[in-house]
């Protein structure tokens, strides 16, 4: 399968602290890659660089198709409902109100989100907010999925369901990168990339 995400020599520093140093990574369409590493290794920073939310100091990221990004902390409007979020995010991609809700409900129902509940996100549990967060990343059927610990707060059933979905996304030809600390599930991914804690040890290849 062709590459859908290619990271070449990406480096990032904050002040004197080196977060990422010469990172290379390629992810093919139809491949699920787990990104692991200690706290502070730069996993979330790398995901944000791939999503375009922060600029790398050096290096290049190239992407085939649309990106779906699910941040670690769900950035949502506290007094808007799930419907409001679906419509707002769908409109950004040119979807009509009806299409946004239809597609959003499909994803939300798969993860057991109570779509009939019209509660504002402030009144939702952490896991339920995270389901909405994930649905917003999937709303426009992106070809590249960047998921930064997307299952935080999920109950056991939804957590297992999430990894089942990774299999489906692989079959659909999506390139999926999941930041995870859940070592028990690593056998379900195609490759595991560990970001080193010390940038001096950070020269590693795509490993494919």
When asked if residue 176 is in the footprint of another protein (CB under 8 A), the reply is no
Give the separation between CA 148 and CA 161, rounded to whole angstroms: 17
Binding residue for another protein (CB under 8 A) from 11, 24, 37, 84? 84
**Cβ–Cβ < 8 Å for 26, 193:** no
- Rule CB under 8 A: is residue 132 a binding residue for another protein? no
CB of 24 to another protein, least distance (A): 15
Q: Which stretch binds another protein (CB under 8 A): 77-85, 101-109, 153-161, 176-184?
A: 77-85
The phi-psi region of residue 102 (left if phi > 0; otherwise alpha if psi is between -120 and 50; otherwise beta) is alpha
CB of 43 to another protein, least distance (A): 18
The residue within the footprint of another protein, chosen from 1, 9, 14, 92 (CB under 8 A), is 92
- The pairing of beta strand 175-179 with beta strand 144-148: parallel
> Please, are residues 78 and 72 in contact by the beta-carbon 8 Å criterion?
no
Instruction: Using the rule CB under 8 A, give the single segment among 52-60, 163-171, 179-187, 192-200 that binds another protein.
Output: 52-60
Return the range that interacts with another protein (CB under 8 A); candidates 11-19, 85-93, 108-116, 191-199. 85-93
Decide whether 84 or 190 has the Cβ nearer to another protein: 84
Helix (H) or strand (E) holding 20: strand 17-28
# residues near another protein by CB under 8 A: 35
First to last CA, the chain: 12
- Helix, coil or strand: residue 94: coil
How would you list the strands of the sheet with 67-70, edge to edge?
67-70, 144-148, 175-179, 31-37, 191-195
Instruction: Tell me if 111 contacts another protein by CB under 8 A.
Output: no
Q: What is the distance of C-alpha 202 from the center of its chain?
A: 22
Site residues (CB under 8 A) for another protein?
Answer: 2-6, 51-53, 55, 60-64, 67, 69, 71, 73, 75-80, 84, 87-89, 91-94, 120, 136, 140
């Amino acid at each position: 399968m062709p590459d859908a995400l290619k990271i070449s020599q990406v480096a990032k520093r904050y002040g004197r602290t080196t977060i990422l140093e010469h990172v290379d990574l390629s992810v093919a369409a139809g491949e699920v890659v787990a990104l692991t590493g200690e706290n502070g290794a730069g996993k979330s920073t790398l995901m944000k660089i791939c999503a375009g939310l922060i600029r790398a100091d050096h290096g290049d990221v190239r992407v085939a198709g649309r990106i779906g990004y699910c941040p670690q902390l769900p950035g949502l409007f506290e007094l808007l409902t799930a419907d409001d979020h679906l419509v707002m995010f769908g409109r950004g991609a040119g979807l009509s109100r009806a299409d946004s809700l239809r597609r959003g409900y499909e994803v939300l129902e798969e993860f057991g989100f109570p779509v009939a509940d019209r509660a504002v996100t402030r009144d939702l549990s952490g896991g339920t907010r995270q389901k909405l967060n994930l649905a917003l990343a999937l709303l426009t059927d992106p070809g590249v999925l960047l998921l930064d610990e997307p299952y935080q707060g999920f109950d056991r059933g939804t957590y297992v369901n999430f990894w089942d979905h990774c299999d489906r996304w692989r079959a659909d030809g999506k390139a999926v990168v999941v930041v995870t600390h859940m070592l028990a599930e690593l056998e379900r991914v195609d490759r595991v990339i560990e970001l080193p804690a010390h940038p001096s040890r950070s020269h590693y290849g795509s490993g494919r």
